[in-house]
Amino acid sequence: MTSTLDPSKDQAPLRTARPAALSAPLNAGPPHPGLSLADVLAAFGHGDADSAPAWLKQKRQTALARAVKLGFPTAQDEEWRFTRIAPLLHLPLHPARPPARRLTAGEIAPFAFGLEGCRLVFVDGHFCAELSSLPAAGGDLQAVSLRAALAGNAPELERYLTDIADEETMVFTALNTAFFRDGALICAAPGKVIAQPVHLLFIATAGEAGATAHVRNLIVAGARSEMKVLETYASLSDAPHFTNTVTELVLGAEARLDHCKIQEENQRAFHVADVQAQQGRGSHWTSHSVSTGARLARHQIQTIFRGRNAGCILNGLYLVRGEQLADHHTVVDHAQPRCESHEFYHGVLSGRAHGVFNGKIFVRQDAQKTNAKQTNRNLLLSDDAVVNTKPQLEIFADDVKCTHGATVGQMDEEAVFYLRSRGIGLEHARQIMVRAFASGVVDRIPLEPVRARLNLMLTERFRDKGA
Amino acid sequence: MELLDIRNLSAGVEGRPILKNLSLSLQAGEVHAIMGPNGSGKSTLAQILAGRAEYQVTAGSVLFQGADLLAMKPEERARAGVFLAFQYPVEIPGVNSTYFLRAALNECRKSRGQAELAPVQFLKLVKEKSKILQLDPALLNRPVNEGFSGGEKKRNEIFQMAVLEPTLAILDETDSGLDIDALKAVAAGVNKLRRPENATLVITHYQRLLNYIVPDFVHVLVDGRIVRSGGKELAFTLEERGYDWVSQETAAPAGATT
């Protein structure tokens, strides 16, 4: 595994973070009518200023300086052209408080997918030991809360944390580094196959608008290890809360990692997620991103191939209705030769929902024999749903195979008629068609209970025609 | 009572008339062929009988076993026993053929008050019926019609018909795009499925298919009207003399044959 530390990174410490933030110039363009970045910084401050190790304090300060420099994105920002965050900045953002009461096992059961094995539960961003079941220490699988790992000086943290996720252009990732409270550290020992999936469950219960959880996860798959991680986000309240989550993944040589992230937060919530991987030689990463909740959900999914013969499958499904927006921005960086990437993102949209897909593929000059494939397909169930989709391929090598395709279409009425002409009712026929549209993406998910849940949701969506 | 009774049917699409005062009746046990040049309205008739909403019926009625067929939804017609073998069967990616057909059969059975077939029973039935059509059973593990050759699609239509056992089968240009072996297999399948209580309406441009599915009656459709009706020999005359022959003839006996 190539070292992830980049000595050229700006390490200049920022001694007086908050005053600097207030005086720093924000992004060009018209100011947001809501919160300014300075307001946000003032609201969050440093929760763990005393307890954090020195290296982390420094990283937090660097990140804060970046955030100040970047400012919140505006409509002029190409990366955020279709995803306006103004409604988020109208919320009184503040750190989510520890939950007022303990959740029962029964309350989290609907989000647990009936999975046995290791589970870490976080409520409003706070780790809940009572609802979690951790593996024994010292085994093939390490799974602990990030705060516990920090307290125990887990070596992976200083080595990798914040060095996988690219903060230089992403203000929310920088804010996460500056303010994350907790999350999970998951490590599979080299050469070990972890049979049971590890489940990270994040539940929001806060009743106040603007309650914010900055969640940070680090997943390290040792060389030749195999592991499945399920990461789910859900709400038990219907308040407009905010989740800003970053998951960093490190795949050692020939590691195989399946990462399934499911976002089903309430329809008023805001969800910004950054999932970034760094892949060693011969490793394989499968990413599933399922987005059905939140008013606004932005997913950044990124990988860089640091060694040859690595591969990834980026698989995604967004099911949005009403006024929801689901945005996927992917970046696959073919920095090494002979790597393969396959992207499949499908969206089912109804009501006045909005889907955004932007897929970047970089093929560096030395990355010969690259095979990169990207597809984005969208099914619009209403006249008012909108999709913006854009492939962005930058290819500097000459012996490569790169394809991309995007479709935006409505229900195939010929097919619906065909089904009906055989005796299948109209509703059932539409149901079959919606399921069929998403089936490729759903069937790639290895966890059966997750597939079953999605199929159930899909069969309900067909009714949405006018909704 | 006629199995199918079409009376003075006029219909069109987007205000353009296609069928003009067409009448036709079928009795149980009969095979009728409708022949006609391109654009004469043959497929429109098939689509209207199956319930395609794009066409507007402007006058006339269609009774199926005494019930108002035009008032029924497409799925209700199928459940009542009307089957259309499509001229262009639709490919449906992501929908497994076996799943689809079992869902269809069970809907039809339910509406007849019969119990649903369990997967095991259904697979047995499929095996039996696929033999009749000499259909490769592997096709049924694929999505509906996806990647099927033209011949496979047509065979699959008749295979579905064999499974659903309709009372009235409408074959819309089932012979188009078939080589002679596929044509024979499809025709043999149709013939095996003939029952005294069922009827078949064969729509075709060419006489060729009628060598294998022998009709009791042949009707010639020109410009939305049945301009001539007769026995199976009418098909040979048409093949020999072309459609111009009937088009030029005037005042041919139009309408029902029985």
Compute the nearest-CA separation of A441 from chain B (Å). Answer: 11
Say whether B89 and A422 touch across the interface (CB within 8 A). Answer: no
In a domain, B258, yes or no: no
In a domain, A451, yes or no: no
In a domain, B253, yes or no: no
Say whether A436 and B94 touch across the interface (CB within 8 A). Answer: yes
In a domain, B44, yes or no: yes
Task: Report the chain B residue with the minimal C-alpha distance to residue A411.
Answer: B92
Residue A376 CA to residue A387 CA, distance in Å, equals 11
Give the nearest partner residue to A420 out of B74, B86, B92, using CB atoms: B74
Per-residue pLDDT at B3 exceeds 90: yes
Q: Which of B54, B73, B76, B90 to mutate to test the interface with A (most CBs of A within 10 A)?
A: B90
- How many CB atoms are located within 10 Å of the residue B203 CB? 25
Cβ atoms of A234 and A206 within 8 Å: the answer is no
Q: Is B180 at the interface with chain A, CB within 8 A?
A: no
pLDDT at residue A13, rounded to an integer: 31
Structure tokens at A123: 């409520």
Average pLDDT over residues B207-229: 93
CA distances from A429 to A62, A414, A416, A417, B132 (A): 55, 11, 6, 8, 28
Q: Which of A344, A375, A414, A417 to mutate to test the interface with B (most CBs of B within 10 A)?
A: A417
In a domain, B188, yes or no: yes
CATH of the domain at B233: 3.40.50.300
Cβ atoms of B213 and B205 within 8 Å: the answer is no
Residue A249's nearest CA partner among A168, A310, A337, A181 is A310
Residue B210 CA to residue B213 CA, distance in Å, equals 5
pLDDT at residue A8, rounded to an integer: 36
Compute the nearest-CA separation of B92 from chain A (Å). Answer: 6
Q: Which of residues 36-65 of B touch A (CB under 8 A)?
A: 50-52
pLDDT at residue A139, rounded to an integer: 93
Query: What phi-psi label fits residue A62: left (phi over 0), alpha (psi between -120 and 50 degrees) or beta?
Result: alpha
In a domain, B174, yes or no: yes
Please give the tally of structural domains in chain A: 1
Q: Residues B142, B144, B145, B147: what is their CA dihedral angle, to the nearest 10 degrees?
A: -40
pLDDT at residue B249, rounded to an integer: 63
For chain A (length 467 residues), average pLDDT per consecutive 10? Answer: 35 32 37 70 67 89 92 91 94 92 91 90 96 93 96 90 89 95 97 97 94 97 98 96 98 98 97 98 98 97 98 97 97 98 97 97 96 97 95 96 96 96 94 92 94 86 56
Residue B173 CA to residue B40 CA, distance in Å, equals 13
Per-residue pLDDT at B225 exceeds 90: yes
Cβ atoms of A325 and A295 within 8 Å: the answer is yes
More confident of the two residues B77 and A454: B77
Please give the tally of structural domains in chain B: 1
Average pLDDT over residues B77-104: 95
pLDDT digits (tens, 9 = 90+) for B155-209: 999 999 999 999 999 999 998 888 888 899 889 989 988 999 999 999 998 888 9
Average pLDDT over residues B108-130: 92
Cβ atoms of B158 and B191 within 8 Å: the answer is no
Compute the nearest-CA separation of B230 from chain A (Å). Answer: 30
Residue-range definition of the domain harbouring residue B162: 4-248
In a domain, A6, yes or no: no
Say whether B104 and A424 touch across the interface (CB within 8 A). Answer: yes
- How many CB atoms are located within 10 Å of the residue A373 CB? 16
Strand B143-144 with A401-410, pairing: unpaired
Chain B residues near residue A426 by CB distance under 8 angstroms: 73, 75
CA distances from B192 to A450, B84, B162, B187 (A): 46, 17, 9, 9
Residue A211's nearest CA partner among A103, A93, A127 is A93
pLDDT digits (tens, 9 = 90+) for B236-253: 888 888 888 877 764 444
Tokens 């149709």 appear where? B190
Residue-range definition of the domain harbouring residue A257: 88-412
Task: Report the chain A residue with the minimal C-alpha distance to residue B143.
Answer: A436
Chain A residues near residue B52 by CB distance under 8 angstroms: 417
Q: What confidence category does residue B96 fall into, taking pLDDT thresholds of 50, 70 and 90?
A: very high
Chain B residues near residue A419 by CB distance under 8 angstroms: 92, 95, 100, 104
